[in-house]
Amino acid sequence: MVAGGGATGGLPAMVDAATLIGVVLLEAIVLYVGYGAAEQVLGDRLIERLQNA
């Protein structure tokens, strides 16, 4: 398990928590951009296939 922020309080816990949330935010943005690029490349072809299936 990759559990986050085990500190009991204070600045280290806040930094750990901020890092964890930052990782989640970074993944969200990377996925948004990545899936967006995939949509640009494959979107029209996928829609065409769905329409003609």
Partner 1 sequence: MEFLGISLAVLVMFVGFGLLIGILFGFFGMGGSFLVTPALLVMGYPSRVAVGSGLAFVFGTSVIATLKHRDLGQVDYKLGVLMIAGTTAGIEVGKEMVLYLEELGMAGSIISVTYVVLLGGIGLFVTYEALKGNDGGGIDHDAEDADAEDIPDIAKTIQSYRVPPMISLRGGVSVSLWMILGVAFVTGLLSGFLGVGGGFIRMPALFYLIGVPVPIAVGTDLFEIVFSGGIGSFLYAMDGGVDLSIVLPLLAGSALGARVGSAATSIVDEGEIKVYFGLMLLGGSVAVAVRELGNVYDIAVLNTVSLVLILGSALLVSGAVVYSSVSALREEAPTDPPTAD
The footprint of partner 1 (CB under 8 A) covers 1-7, 9, 13-14, 16-18, 20-21, 23-25, 27-29, 31-32, 35-36, 39, 47, 50-53
Distance CA 3, CA 48 (A): 43
Two tokens, residue 16: 């750990």
Residue 11 has, within 13 A of its CA and on its CB side, a CA count of: 0
Q: Give the nearest distance from C-beta 22 to partner 1 in angstroms.
A: 10
CB of 13 to partner 1, least distance (A): 5
Please count the other Cβ atoms lying within 10 Å of the Cβ belonging to residue 16. Answer: 14
CB of 41 to partner 1, least distance (A): 14
